[in-house]
Structure 1
Amino acid sequence: MRRFLLPAILGFLLIVVSLSAYRDRKRARTILHENERLIGENRDLRNSLTLSHRTAQQIADRKDMQQMTQAQFVDRREYFRRNWKQYISVNNGDYKTGFLGGIKNLQVQVRNQTEYTLDNAVVSVQYLRNNGDVFKTEQYTVHNIPAKGVQSVTASNSRKGSKVNIRLVSITSQPMNFCWSADKKAAPGDPDPFACVPAAR
């Protein structure tokens, strides 16, 4: 009896081990297939992203080329007058606030990225309380902002306020024949409404 029992047990164990090995191989093939599928999807995604990036770059390059071409056929001064918001901006530098409120060392900076000097830019500064209410409003004039440059003025200190809101009120540039004001509305249909002296058409 023992002579037959031992081979039977060994045979049974061999079958169990074989089945386990088969299941492991099958699971490994499934995992390998899934990994290959994921690698393929990642490769397709990378190719798609690369194509999208190239397309976006081509669109941006085409837009830049169109702007350059437009600038070649349009008077440079007129081009900057029409698109001044892309080239002229105002911001405030770092400033200090008191423990109980108040603003000190506020710098008003006007950046000019056009090819022409700005004679002056008038800037409105609102000093705001913590709740957003306006404590006071002051105007400052920044003179002689160089082409491709920045000019700044120091604003007065305020005994109250925790932050500021700053905006352009008017800009004048004789070299660019540019006269813009926030309260000056562009006439409908006028392609160049901010020329100080309108060009003869």
Structure 2
Amino acid sequence: MKIENIIKEALKDAIPYSQYRALVEGHVLNNSNTGAEVTEALANYTALNHQRMKRLDKKVELSPETQDFLESLSPNFSFLVITESWCGDAAHVIPVLNKIAEAGSIDLKLVLRDENEALMNEFLTNGSKSIAKLIIYNSESFEPIASWGPRPSTATQMVADEKAAKGALSPEFKQELQKWYNKDKGKTIEKDMIAVIKSIQ
């Protein structure tokens, strides 16, 4: 199947950010999670991520320069994000993407990874199904223009360095990564995304 058709197919079940937040909250209330595998650990991550997103929805503020740039756009592209409720990176990334989409009048929809295997397989990161993954596609032709993710550039480098040094990500490193996200407050995601958008204009 052509990539444009895979994107079109995925969009049939895609949901806006507000609906995704409600979906995650519903899983928290039911002590469950999205995805093919439901476990106590993934349900706990989902609850944690719900709180993270709630906090970021209130606290993330784009810089005045970013705001001005996005408001001047006439986007002929849309955002499609592949995610799952249990993914820590996604919880930090998606609220910022939503703020960017709102400021730039960019259509943002989300789909679940495990329900969209064909789409995920087109956007692997080093051969793995890493999320969150943003696909930027032409709003009329559905052709992909760019992709970004699963993490902001600085976090990507941190993960690469840790894997090179130790072969795997330790629980201690994962805590360090969370601290970095909290301190960064979405600024690196903002910077990365403006660079991507400028590159496709």
TM-score computed with the length of structure 1 as normaliser: 0.23
Larger Rg: 1
Name the one with the larger helix percent: 2
Q: Taking CA–CA contacts closer than 8 Å with sequence separation of 6 or more, which of the two structures ends up with the larger relative contact order?
A: 2
TM-score computed with the length of structure 2 as normaliser: 0.23
Name the one with the larger strand percent: 1
